[in-house]
């Protein structure tokens, strides 16, 4: 039987897993947001909105472009110009 994870450690583990997910998405730019939405029900834009909302809950005001840059690793418009393929299918 495994030992229960203390809440303080759980938060660190969850944060590290989130960072790994974001890094994975940054490294796999060939995966389009529309594909993520169709397969998983969320995309990079969803993550940026969740990030912004959670920051807001903690009293931090982050703009939508800044939150997207946190997830994409670059300005969103730059990512779209470099990696988005096909017709524009932006998930709101």
Q: Which tens digit of pLDDT belongs to each residue from 18-64?
A: 999 999 999 999 999 999 999 999 999 999 999 999 999 999 999 99
Could you tell me the pLDDT band of residue 86, with boundaries at 50, 70 and 90?
A: confident
Produce one character per residue of 46-81: b if its CB has 16 or more CB atoms within 10 Å, e if not.
bbbbebbeeeeeeeeebeeeebbbebbbeebeebee
- Closest among 64, 46, 65 to 56, alpha carbons compared: 64
- Please give the CATH architecture assigned to the domain spanning 7-83: Orthogonal Bundle (1.10)
Measured between alpha carbons, how far is 92 from 43 in angstroms, rounded to an integer? 10
Could you tell me the pLDDT band of residue 88, with boundaries at 50, 70 and 90?
A: low
Measured between alpha carbons, how far is 24 from 18 in angstroms, rounded to an integer? 10
Measured between alpha carbons, how far is 30 from 1 in angstroms, rounded to an integer? 40
């Amino acid at each position: 039987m495994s030992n229960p994870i203390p809440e303080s450690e759980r938060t660190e583990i969850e944060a590290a897993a989130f960072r790994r997910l974001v890094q994975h998405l940054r490294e796999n730019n060939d995966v389009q947001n529309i594909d993520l939405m169709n397969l998983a029900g969320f995309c990079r834009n969803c993550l940026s909105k969740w990030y912004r909302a959670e920051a807001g809950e903690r009293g931090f005001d982050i703009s939508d472009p800044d939150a997207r840059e946190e997830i994409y690793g670059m300005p969103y418009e730059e990512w779209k110009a470099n990696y988005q393929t096909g017709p524009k299918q932006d998930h709101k």
